[in-house]
Amino acid sequence: MLSSLLGFDLPPLLLPALVLVVTLLLKSWAEAPVNLPPFPGWRVPVVGHMLLLGANVREKLLEIRKTTGNIFSLYFGGTLVVVLSGFDVLKEAMIKQGDVFVDRPVGGVHSILRVNSGIIGSSGSTWKENRSAAFQILRSFGLGKDAMSQKVLEEIKLYLEYLENLGGQAANVKDTTTCATSNVICSIVLGKRFDYDDAEFISLLRSHREYITLISGAYVHAWFPQVKYLPGDFFKSKRLIQVYDEITSQMSHFIEKISEEERNGLATSNFISSYIEKMEEKEKSGQPTELSNHHLKRILFDLLVGGTDTTASTLLWFYLYMVHFPEVQEKIYEEIVREIGTARSPSGQDKVGLPYTKAVLLETQRFASILPLAISHRCNRETTVAGYTIPKDVPVLLHLDSVMLDDKIWDNAKTFRPERFLKGGKLACPEFFVAFGLGKRSCPGESLAKIELFLVSISVIQRFKVVPADPNNIPPLRYEKGATCAPLPFSVKFVARTAA
């Protein structure tokens, strides 16, 4: 009949194909929610809105928010994604409906790396039991207590010696600062630290940073995992898999080495031994458990990468801001001299007496906003946020930049001004400071990161003046693109205060 209407014969297989396409389109239209959050523009076939986002996704998302509002939809290829912006919307979803948004997506990078293990990438009972076990173990090692401050101070002593040995010469301290921050978590997880010139460990930390860069949503493989099957590696998906496998292989090596030391009676107290002991206790008692060596390997990955990258990047931003805003650095030093002096080392108890210093650290985190988007979530049932429908299983992006860099909240947000966190000379951190995320999956290492940032920064400023390597060529406030935004490599001088 259709052939007679058209006036020509259709190929035998074309008519069934047309019927199938029309049926699928009608089905998708019938099932599509009628009240999706608004789209910023036309959806391009195959790629969706990826061309609209362009190369600088971070800036483009802030721009889209101005026209669509605090909640909008995007298509990455055929994947519908909802972006939540603005503090009120984030709070409505992550606090008031925390159980609905607690899970992780199952596609994209997660499918490339086959990640549904450990803490960061898992969901459901796997996440709950492993997160609970990890926190119990970390608390037994002093997480959130004064004992943790002591571990940090032990590492700071060696870090300060390294800076002193530079003799005031210009240096890029990225690798050493990363090693120092990583050593704090390594002392717990592995029961040991690494020397700052340990080439193998530095290589592992650089792999961590490359991994952080390659899992960024700006990469095509984040939304088109099929590109890993294409010849070559134009989209870096094969390199991502290689880096991930290299890191997880090293995690397996750590587990095997500590297990061997345990058998030989040589093991020190560490997270790995404690996790294995907890796992074996459950297995012997016949309790069902999600604890396993498979999950332990990924938990080590999560702790070492998560406990290193953001803290090290924040400290590097702190040094860079001290160079750009020397008057702020001098105010910190004056407060340290007034409250602590120069004879004794700082301690965790000094937090109360250094409100300006703490305000500078908060402003450093806010101004740098090193986590523009939190790790993606998944809506585990259909729900409504800000009057819009979010379908079940849709990936959800938390747009933290939209809060940390919002002029309506912070009043001239693109100005570095620590005083915004002070009220009547006392520290005042508002609820819309979301550097560590919010809700049930906020950063599990928040307390450790806070004490590291505090003790390292005041210890360094107490002893050294951070100055530019070239006063006529101050390093720019520019960042490396990735899932987190570290500053571009730069060199500065750490000049001893007695010689300043």
Burial of 170 (0-12, 13-18, 19+ CB in 10 A): middle
User: Residue 435: what are its φ and ψ, rounded to 5°?
Assistant: -60, -30
Q: Is 406 exposed, middle or buried (0-12, 13-18, 19+ CB in 10 A)?
A: middle
Q: What are phi and psi of 210, to 5 degrees?
A: -65, -40
End-to-end, the C-alpha distance of the chain in Å comes to 92
Where do the H-state alpha helices sit in 232-339?
Answer: 237-263, 271-285, 293-306, 309-324, 326-339
Please enumerate in sequence order all residues whose Cβ is within 8 A of that of 108, keeping only pairs 6 or more positions apart, or say none.
76, 79, 221, 222, 223, 225, 376, 395
- The whole-angstrom distance between residue 396's C-alpha and the CA centroid of its chain comes to 16
Amino acid at 230: L
Instruction: State the Cα–Cα distance between residues 208 and 191, nearest whole angstrom.
Output: 20
443 is in an annotated binding site: yes
Cα–Cα distance between 133 and 473 in angstroms, integer?
Answer: 49
Instruction: Assign residue 423 a region (left: φ > 0; alpha: ψ between -120 and 50; beta: otherwise).
Output: beta
CA distances in angstroms from 60 to 74, 175, 218, 358, 399, listed in the order given: 12, 31, 11, 31, 12
CA gap 170, 469 in Å, rounded: 5
> Which residue from 242, 301, 307 is spatially nearest to 272, judged by alpha carbons?
301
Q: Helix 271-285 and helix 174-189: axis angle, to 10°?
A: 30
Q: Which helix (H) or strand (E) holds 72?
A: strand 71-76
Provide the residue type at 441 as one letter. R
Distance CA 276, CA 449 (A): 26
Distance from C-alpha of 181 to C-alpha of 183, rounded to nearest angstrom: 5
Residues in the chain: 500
Question: Which residues sit in the known binding site?
Answer: 443
Question: Which residues sit in the known binding site for heme?
Answer: 443
